[in-house]
Structures are given as structure tokens and as C-alpha cells.
A and B are shown apart, each in its own frame.
Chain A
């Protein structure tokens, strides 16, 4: 995998430190690296061109002082510029003063429209207490209606469908009337996947727009999309003037440069991020995080937020107290592991930590390791869990047998636990441990 951009730039700009400012030559050299990084992240090459030119102007003559080294300085400028470009106006979903608010989901085949429609329904129900209906206007793909009926039920939304015999435009108009009659707050229309060059189907989409006068048309874009994202976005923008973008499959390791391409070309805001197949894996889009991701800088903010969501305040206070009093035992350790696990697959968490992302990208995280650790701890007596130093010889053997592991595994776990306890004590005392060193140690 590629070195992090900051490291590369640091090598390129090694001798800038002494001089204190970035010269034209420095910037040109730096932009070559930036260009490669953006292309590698699938940002459209035309967008890359105009973007690097803009950044070049800003970076020229920038002072390299203070905390950041020149490489970091350039990355910061690039990241700031990217964030600004992707954020911009920050338009929200538009709600109609007179319900129902009508939302149309559109996009290429398989981009995630149906899933996103159900996710949005669930999101609006939970966040805004809206009553939501979903309209099944994909009459082409086999079992598309059945799919929407199922995910709609999971989302707690009514699904309006007329099977596959009717014309999608008619279904859309009918659904709008029905949503009005039934006093729904929001109607979300799921449409079939279509190629931007399919004139017939693009005309159909324009007609759906005409008969339903939607307040929001959302283009659903797969985060793994390559250079073609520009052509797709341009065409959908021209035919239906969509209002915002949903970026899907962000739970993978794609850098997601398509987000930048689409925003740069159409100026439409990215409103939501879809991060999994389950309906609750859906969040507001954060341009700063996306900028860091495109540049391969990890995603600390998301990680922190996820941790906050999954974290129980009282437990946290209790943990802190235990750490201070040095009463942190294996029971607490197990609880911590369970909490981490609730955040999501470990692999995706690692990708969010800057510096670790690239280093560990190829590394395999064995989720079953959790089960083994859990089995070992649960095979200990409460006394042993509080005082692992008691675990020697025969106790070790008993625990190994009880957990179906071996003595070596038990030893290893206790050693890791001791290390971790040391680090946590440091954290509790306000000292930041060297994460990188820790990772290297434990491998």
C-alpha cells in the first residue's frame, strides 16, 4: 500500500525547514505527490487538475513555522481546501411546510438506493419523529418491490406498492396522493437503477419528478466509483437537477474520491453517508472526515464519535475511578473489549486511526480472538480476575482447559493485560501513550 501522503511530502520537502517558506519549486514538487494521491483515491483527473492548481496558489509563500513540519503543513492546506470544497453551503434536507415532503432516490444500478431509502425513513422517524411512507417505483429489477417491502417494514415505514405491472410514473403520482390523504410527513420514492446514458429511463425519472414535485432529489453514489462519477453526476444533474448526494458503502476501504468529483462538478452537497447494510448504519456527512479519508489520513473524528455513542457515561466514570485507584481488573478489561466490539468490526476501526490505517491495512484482524479472550477471562474465578498476578502454574492450566485454549494463550493474555493496564494508568494520569509504539509492541 501507499505511504501516507504526509510522509511522502515530508521526504519531498525535507530541506524546506531551514528556509522557512515554501518556494514555487517546493510547491510544484509537493503537488505532484498530491496529484498522485488524489488519483489513487479516484478523484476525477480533471477535478484533480483544477484542484491542485487552486491549492498551489494558496500554498505558495505559506510560512512553515510552528508545530507542523513542511509536509504536514502542505497536507493541512490540502485537507482544509478539500474540506471547504466538499462542505460549502452545507444545505440540509428541505422539508415542505405542507406535508408530505417528497424525496426521490436516484442513481446507477446497485449503488444502494433501496437501502438508503429505508435508512432515511428510519432516520427521519427516529430523529424527527416523522411518519414516513416509501413508494416502490422500481418495477424492472426482479424482486425490487419485495426488497423494499421488507426493508420498509424494518424501518417502520408504510410501503406503497402496486406490484410490477404499473408504470413507475403513475405509481409515483398515486403514492403522492396517498401520502397526502394519509397525512404522512414524508414520502420517499425508491426508483430503479438507471444508466445516465439510458435516455428512456432518464426521461422516466424526469417524469417522476414532474408528477411528484419533490422537495429533494437525492443522487445515491457508491463510494467505490472511479473516474466515471463525473459523467454520471453531470447527466443526472442536467436531467433532474438533483439536490443532494448520498454516499454509500463507506464502510469499506475505498478512499472515496468520487465524493470530491461529484461535488466539484455539480456543486451539490453531500448530505448523508451510508456505512453498512444494516438500517442504522447511516449518518450525516462530514466533509472534514471525508477530506482526511481521501488523503489517507484516517478518520479520528468518526472514531471518537462512535466511541461516544457506544459509551455509557456512568460506566466511564466508574472506569476512571478504578483506574485511578488501580483497581482495574480483567472483568473491566472484558467490559472494555465488549464496548470496543460494539463500535463495529475492528478492521474498520483500525482504518480510522491515523498512522495506523496504512500500516495495518493489509493486516488481518481476527475477530475470533475476542471470543478466545472472553472464554479465558470467563474461566477465571472473580478473585483471579481482580488479581491476575495470582494466576500461575496449576491455575493457569485450569483456566486453559476451562476455556479450551492453552497455557501459552493464557500467559499471553495476562501479559497483554498488564501492558494495557500500564498504558491506561498513564492515560488516566493525563499522559498520552505512544500508540504507534504500542501497536508495534503487541505484534
Chain B
């Protein structure tokens, strides 16, 4: 079964504001929505890949099997390198007689992919007061949307109070965009004057959280390409401003990666990580047909885990990442 919010977020004892029962009253409906959405999405993903791999279920393991397998992984944006490694491993196991037939191959493949996806600590500790979560990533990958959804989930699922810091002071109407998300999520917004220094906004947002005893501060930032040195330096400055306000912060630095991203995603993760020490990924737009396989390459090469996934544009369309489910979606279940 998919992971639940409480599997991802580390909270102190019983979460505040939410009754003790596992199924808080009235949220049943809300829960079914995103679940159905996700399942539908995963089904679509599976169907596409199943047709790629299906033949393996009925055939002996032949040269063609490996080729088809390779293609399926490449098609999922896993990348040549990680694909080669996975296929080599399976081929070796097959030669050693450990895998006979397509069925065994498929289940071993799923296992292997899930193992790769399962890397590092994939939980988000929100016990610090306030907990500071910094969002970073390339333009248009979903930082602001994730900020809004995350605020809503922290509030509704875990009963935490949230401040949103409008750290994108560059893009036209970026502050207004976050402002609307803050309204939807019922979170407080902290913004600076137009063209403000993003570091100061972040600093101020955390100051507000500390002053008012808010549980979590989420800092949105402007999109930037990892190749833009000046903008990456600016992001480092934002991080320093956060640390100046609260020495142990940011507690979590999440990189948004669009699931449709190809091999460039690896370089994105590498350079963002060098600049601001990324602790996890949010894999967004998984509601499309893209499989987000680049996350596997990132996990494999850099050891950065996916923590959350985006499955739509509504408040509820954010889910905990589940390696096994992700692997099953990449392969046929």
C-alpha cells in the first residue's frame, strides 16, 4: 500500500490538532480524490510500459528480452548508465540461473528499481520549531505549487501551522501566485516589497514564524537554471540568510524536478546540491505520461531520495513518495 503522510513526516507524538483516530472524520472524501487520481495515473503509466515489456512474460529470456527491457527503461528517462547497470545485474542473475521466465524477471526488476529509489533518509522531520523548508529548482518545475500544496497538507493532515515566504521576487506576478496559494491553504504569507532581496524575505518569514510560534516556514524561491552562476550564488545567499535567522535551518531543502525532465535532471540535482545541500526531491507532474525515471539516476548517482510527488494542480495533489509503487509504475505490476 502507498505510504501515508505520517510515514513521511516525523512529528512529535500524536500530531496536534488532529483527533487520535487513523481516519480523521470528514477527510475520507478528500483522501479518495487524490488516491484515485494517483491510481489512474499509475495505471496509465503501467499500460504504456506493459506493452513494452509484455512480451517478456511469455517468452524465454532472449537477446530480444534484454533489448526490450533496455528500451523500456530508456523510455522512462532512467538514462543509459543506470539502465545498463540494471540490465547487467539482471542478465547476470539470469545466467546464474536465479531468474527463469518473464514473470520472475519482472518482479526482480521491480525490486531492483525500488532498491535504487530507496536511498538515504526519505522522511521529513518537522519536529523543530519552527521547521524551515526551502524549495529550489529550475524554472517552471513546480516550486510555488508545491509550496501551496505542502502547506495545505501539513495543516490538514498533521495539524501544523504554516508560514509561506515569498522568496521569488523576480518573476512577474510570482508573489501574487503564492499569495493565492496561501489563501487556499489557509497559511500566512510573508512578502517583501516588489524587487526585494529574496534573502531578506526568507529571513523575515522565519522571524515571523518564530515570533508567532508557527510550526513550519516554507520558503519559495525564483526558478533558476543550475548553470547560472550568479543566480546560484543568490540561492546560496538565501540559504545563508535562513541560517543566520535560525542556525540549524533550513531543516529540509527540497529540489523540485519535473517528471518530464530528461537526462539534464541529473546535472540539475548535482549543481543544486552543491550549492544548497539538497535533502530530497519533489518529483512533480507525475499525473502526465512521463515516468520520472531520471529520479532513479539521481538516486543512484547522487544518493538523493525522492520524498514527495506532485500528481496535479489542486491542493490535494501532493503525495508521499513510495519507492515500491514508483518501481511498479515503471514496470508492469
Binding site for B on A (CB under 8 A): 36, 39-42, 44-45, 108-112, 140-144, 146-147, 149-151, 154, 195-197, 222, 224-229, 231-232, 249, 251-255, 257-258, 277, 345, 347-348, 351, 364-367
- Which of chain B's residues have a CB closer than 8 A to the CB of A40? 79-80, 263
Question: Which of B138, B148, B176, B264 has most chain A Cβ within 10 Å?
Answer: B264
**Is there contact, CB below 8 Å, between B260 and A228?**
yes
Query: Beyond A45-B71, A142-B180, is A197–B288 a contact (Cβ under 8 Å)?
Result: yes
Q: 4 smallest A-B Cβ distances: which pairs?
A: A110-B140, A226-B262, A42-B262, A142-B180
- Which of chain B's residues have a CB closer than 8 A to the CB of A149? 173
- Which of chain B's residues have a CB closer than 8 A to the CB of A347? 227-229
Starting from the known contacts A110-B258, A143-B177, A228-B289, 19 additional A-B residue pairs (CB-CB under 8 Å) come to: A40-B79, A42-B263, A45-B75, A109-B142, A146-B176, A150-B173, A195-B289, A196-B288, A197-B289, A224-B261, A224-B262, A226-B263, A227-B76, A228-B288, A232-B260, A252-B138, A252-B264, A253-B267, A367-B229
Q: Which residue in A45, A228, A251, A351 is a CB contact (below 8 Å) of B74?
A: A45
Q: Is B265 positioned at the interface, with any CB of A under 8 Å from its CB?
A: yes
Q: Which residue in A36, A110, A150, A253 is a CB contact (below 8 Å) of B264?
A: A253
- Which of chain A's residues have a CB closer than 8 A to the CB of B230? 345, 367
State the main secondary structure of chain B at its contact with A: loop
**Is there contact, CB below 8 Å, between B289 and A231?**
yes
Minimum CB distance partner of B268 in chain A: A224
CA distance A254 to B261 in the complex (A): 10
Minimum CB distance partner of A150 in chain B: B172
CA distance A112 to B138 in the complex (A): 12
Q: Is B188 positioned at the interface, with any CB of A under 8 Å from its CB?
A: no
A-contact bits for B238-281, CB 8 A (1 contact / 0 none):
00000000000000000000101111110100000000000000
Q: Which residue in B140, B176, B264, B285 is a CB contact (below 8 Å) of A254?
A: B264
Using a Cβ–Cβ cut-off of 8 Å, how many residues does chain B contribute to the interface with A? 47
CA distance A252 to B225 in the complex (A): 6
B206-231 interface (Cβ within 8 A of A): 225-230
- Which of chain A's residues have a CB closer than 8 A to the CB of B264? 42, 224, 252-255
- Which of chain A's residues have a CB closer than 8 A to the CB of B237? none
Q: Which residue in A141, A142, A249 is a CB contact (below 8 Å) of B139?
A: A249
Q: Which residue in A108, A151, A364 is a CB contact (below 8 Å) of B260?
A: A108
**Is there contact, CB below 8 Å, between A111 and B176?**
no
Q: Which residue in B171, B225, B229, B294 is a CB contact (below 8 Å) of A226?
A: B294
**Is there contact, CB below 8 Å, between B225 and A109?**
no
Shortest C-beta distance, A3 to chain B (Å), equals: 14
Shortest C-beta distance, A222 to chain B (Å), equals: 7
